[in-house]
């Protein structure tokens, strides 16, 4: 995109003849300008990520749909800024809601264990009531009027995260965003999975990524490389912040994220914990007395 990305909430931004973006009116430090809802097709439509429970956004989508049939409502994942409007949109259009699973689906073994034992904290922004009408598996292909859409399981931001490949484009949800790196907050987020999903997306031949927040990404491979390097840099910073004495998450966060605005400090601490779980899994740190948000961490 040559022009600056400046969609107006509720007004469709045409990205191609059969693709429009409709920005939801939910800007915030975590959502940037707001959630991008994508409308694919011409005669019959597919909608990706209806957005937050917001009647203004529902009316905007209704105007864009303009009475045309909707064949599928697809969800990249079940965070509150993506999935709650799916139910109302499904009632309005009669289309079924497709997703990987409920909000705990796709969790890694270590995250399921931390959650079970109440040791992970987290749970921010989860749509706990979310349940799809149809469960999509990794690699499943949907046939829509606008062509085939392939579901790619990309856990990491949350276990039930899917990306959707359509022609040479991938809708990357919150896994690869156009404005910032993704929040990875255990037990929903898993950094080990996140890195695997980045490697997976790298193998897909896409010429554009359409994220759920921010502008289209015209150079997907470069953006993925930036994202992976950003995480590797953070990992190195965290390992160097771990002195020889036992260190807590708050101390590491203050060192590594010293320049972060106060509104994002809690999210930064969650990212640090995600890294520490990943490093623990790799045997690079130990946690005392047990792996948890209140543990002290030591370099192995």
Residues in touch with Zn ion (CB under 5 A) = 79, 174
Min dist CB 157 to Zn ion, Å, is: 6
Distances (CA, A) of 138 to 132, 151, 274: 15, 6, 24
Dihedral of CA 213/219/222/224: which sign?
A: positive
Q: How far apart are CA 176 and CA 171, in angstroms?
A: 9
Whichever of 174 and 235 has its CB closer to Zn ion, that residue is: 174
Min dist CB 174 to Zn ion, Å, is: 4
Q: How far apart are CA 13 and CA 81, in angstroms?
A: 19
Distances (CA, A) of 41 to 8, 35, 149, 277: 21, 20, 12, 42
Q: Which two tokens stand for residue 249?
A: 């998450």
Min dist CB 253 to Zn ion, Å, is: 21
Angle at 82 between CA 35 and CA 158, to 5 degrees: 115
Min dist CB 49 to Zn ion, Å, is: 10
* Residue among 11, 27, 22, 72 at smallest CA distance from 46: 72
Min dist CB 175 to Zn ion, Å, is: 9
Whichever of 57 and 79 has its CB closer to Zn ion, that residue is: 79
DSSP E strand stretches across the chain: 13-16, 19-23, 36-40, 45-48, 70-74, 96-99, 134-135, 141-144, 147-153, 162-166, 169-173, 208-211, 285-288, 296-299
Min dist CB 197 to Zn ion, Å, is: 13
* Residue among 35, 41, 39, 45 at smallest CA distance from 18: 41
Min dist CB 52 to Zn ion, Å, is: 11
Whichever of 174 and 278 has its CB closer to Zn ion, that residue is: 174
Whichever of 18 and 193 has its CB closer to Zn ion, that residue is: 193
Whichever of 172 and 192 has its CB closer to Zn ion, that residue is: 172
**Contact by Cβ (8 Å): 14, 40:** no
Min dist CB 255 to Zn ion, Å, is: 27
Count, in order, helices (H) and strands (E) of the chain.
7, 14
Whichever of 174 and 193 has its CB closer to Zn ion, that residue is: 174
Whichever of 181 and 255 has its CB closer to Zn ion, that residue is: 181
Whichever of 34 and 41 has its CB closer to Zn ion, that residue is: 34
Residue 37: Cβ-neighbour burial (10 angstroms; 0-12, 13-18, 19+): buried
């Amino acid at each position: 995109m040559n022009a600056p990305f400046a969609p107006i909430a509720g007004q469709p931004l045409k990205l191609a003849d059969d693709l429009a973006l409709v920005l939801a009116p939910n800007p915030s430090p975590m959502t940037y300008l707001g959630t991008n809802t994508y409308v694919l097709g011409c005669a019959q439509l597919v909608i990706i990520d209806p957005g937050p429970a917001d009647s203004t956004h529902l009316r905007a989508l209704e105007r864009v749909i303009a009475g045309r049939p909707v064949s599928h409502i697809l969800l990249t994942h079940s965070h509150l800024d993506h999935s709650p409007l799916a139910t109302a949109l499904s009632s309005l259009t009669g289309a079924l809601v497709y997703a990987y699973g409920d909000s705990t689906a796709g969790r890694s073994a270590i995250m399921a264990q931390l959650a079970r034992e109440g040791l992970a904290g987290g749970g921010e922004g989860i749509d706990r009531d979310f349940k799809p009408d149809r469960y999509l598996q990794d690699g499943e292909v949907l046939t829509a009027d606008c062509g085939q859409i392939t579901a790619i399981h990309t856990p990491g931001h949350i276990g039930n995260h899917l990306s959707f490949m359509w022609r040479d484009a991938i809708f990357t949800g919150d896994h690869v965003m156009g404005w910032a790196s993704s929040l990875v907050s255990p037990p929903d987020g898993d950094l080990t999975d996140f890195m695997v999903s980045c490697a997976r997306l790298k193998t897909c031949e896409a010429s554009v990524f359409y994220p759920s927040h921010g502008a289209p990404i015209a150079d997907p491979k470069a953006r993925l490389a930036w994202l992976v390097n950003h995480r590797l840099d953070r990992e190195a910073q965290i390992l160097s912040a771990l002195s020889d004495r036992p260190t807590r998450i708050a101390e590491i966060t203050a060192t590594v994220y010293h320049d972060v605005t106060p509104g994002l400090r809690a999210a930064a601490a969650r990212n640090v914990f995600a890294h520490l779980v990943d490093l623990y899994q790799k045997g690079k740190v130990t946690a005392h007395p047990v792996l948890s948000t209140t543990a002290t961490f030591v370099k192995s």
